[in-house]
Amino acid sequence: MSKAEKRSAARLAAVQALYQMEITGAGVVDATVEFERFWIGKEVEGLAFKPVEDAFFRDLVAGVVREQKTVDRRVDEALARGWPLRRIETVLRAILRVAAFELLFRRDVPPRVTITEYVDVARAFYDGDEPGLVNAVLDTLARSDRNEELLARH
């Protein structure tokens, strides 16, 4: 698997870990250890969980928890008025949190890559308008924080 494929798998696993943490109340260490031991790179109930870039996965999960106040505030600002992050469904909230963390704190990843990757993650879970919402929120954050990179042509 390529580094890009392992990072894509890490993004999906991070969303799943954050979802599990919110549902079960597990902490960062317990959630990452469980995912690394029992899910990542394994087949579970007929579903294959791809190998991930471990350090990237851990940084995403721990980073969202570490920077959650900033991440949540920034996502709230980008969401439509009257729809704070706490009112968003749990899986979608996890997607938005991981994506916003990566966009705001992982400057090594181009913003267009982050946006595309998390729209794809949203498509893995939703058939409706949710991928468009993810795109709109991340586009708003990127234009606010990393506009020069968005405007630059590569």
Between CA 70 and CA 64 the distance in angstroms is: 9
Q: Which two tokens stand for residue 115?
A: 């946006």
Rounded Cα distance between 108 and 115, Å, is 14
Q: Which CATH superfamily is domain 3-151 in?
A: NusB-like (1.10.940.10)
Q: What confidence tier does 137 reach under pLDDT thresholds 50, 70, 90?
A: very high
Query: How big is the chain by its Cα radius of gyration, in Å?
Result: 15
Q: What is the pLDDT of residue 154?
A: 54
What's the CA gap between 23 and 34, in Å, rounded? 15
- HSE-up of residue 106 (Cα within 13 Å, Cβ side): 25
Tokens 């468009």 correspond to what residue? Answer: 132
Confidence at 49, pLDDT banded by 50, 70, 90: confident
Asked if 96 and 88 touch (Cβ cutoff 8 Å), the reply is yes
- The encoded tokens of residue 6 equal 């392992």
State pLDDT tens for residues 73-97.
999 999 877 677 888 899 999 999 9
User: Of 58, 86, 54, 82, which is closest to residue 71 (Cα–Cα)?
Assistant: 86
SS3 126: coil
pLDDT at position 40 = 85
